[in-house]
Amino acid sequence: MEQTFIMIKPDGVQRGLVSPIPRLYTEQPLRACLNLAIGFCSGLLEPSLIIGFVFAISLLQIGDIISRFEKKGYYLKAMKFMNVEKSFAQQHYADLSAQPFFAKLVDYIISGPVVAMVWEGKDVVLTGRRIIGATRPWEAAPGTIRGDHAVEVSRNVIHGSDSVENGKKEIALWFPGGLAEWKSNLHPWIYEN
């Protein structure tokens, strides 16, 4: 099945889209506790608890973006929370290196941690782009992530591969170690084949 690379950019991580932490705690305390527990456990596995704590907070913030893809019927095949090196950001956006905004774009992507993900499903590249919305947030339809949560093109919250081919390239770049192999038990209820 088709796969796409989705990245929540540093502003998306920082802004806590849709679910500010206090609201999440009052409205969805179970989910908040679960996220915190996952973050704490990851802290135990990681070299420092602080990384786990940051991961916990970030999961609270990015949960709604992940939910949009999950609820649609796509499968999360890989996810990591990380800081990006400058040279890596330049490689990811190599196709745009001639653009006047390239240097700024690279600085933006390395300005804080990002959440890198691979999602799988039928037509996930095109549909993922529709869920994300147009590059320029003022052109993005209401209901899309950028349409609802971004103002500036240089602060547009999220990245999604623009073709199957580029998706493959980006997945290989961001997840050289491969992806999780799994299939949801709900698969026959979402997909015909």
Among residues 60, 11, 54, which one has the least CA distance to residue 31? 60
List binders of Mg ion among 142-181 (CB under 5 A): 162
CA 16 to chain centre: 13
Residue 138's binding partner among ligand IDP, Mg ion, none (Cβ under 5 to 8 angstroms by kind) is none
Report whether 146 belongs to an annotated binding site: yes
159 has catalytic annotation: yes
CB 156, min distance to ligand IDP, A: 5
CA 187-191-193 angle, to 5 degrees, is: 95
By CB under 6 A, residue 154 contacts ligand IDP:
yes
- Please report which residue ranges of the chain form alpha helices under DSSP H: 10-15, 21-27, 29-45, 49-72, 86-92, 102-109, 124-132, 145-149, 164-174, 187-190
**Residue closer to ligand IDP, measured from CB, 101 or 182:** 101
Name residues contacting ligand IDP, limited to 112-151 (CB under 6 A).
135
Report yes or no: 95 and 152 within 8 Å, Cβ to Cβ.
no
DSSP 8-state class, residue 78: E
Strand 75-82 versus strand 3-8 pairing type: unpaired
Whichever of 36 and 117 has its CB closer to ligand IDP, that residue is 117
Partner interacting with residue 149 (select from ligand IDP, Mg ion, none; CB below 5-8 Å by kind): none
- Binding-site annotation: residue ranges: 9, 101, 129, 135, 146, 156
- The residues carrying an active-site annotation are 159
Name the site residues for ligand IDP (rule: CB under 6 A).
96, 101, 105, 135, 153-154, 156, 159, 162
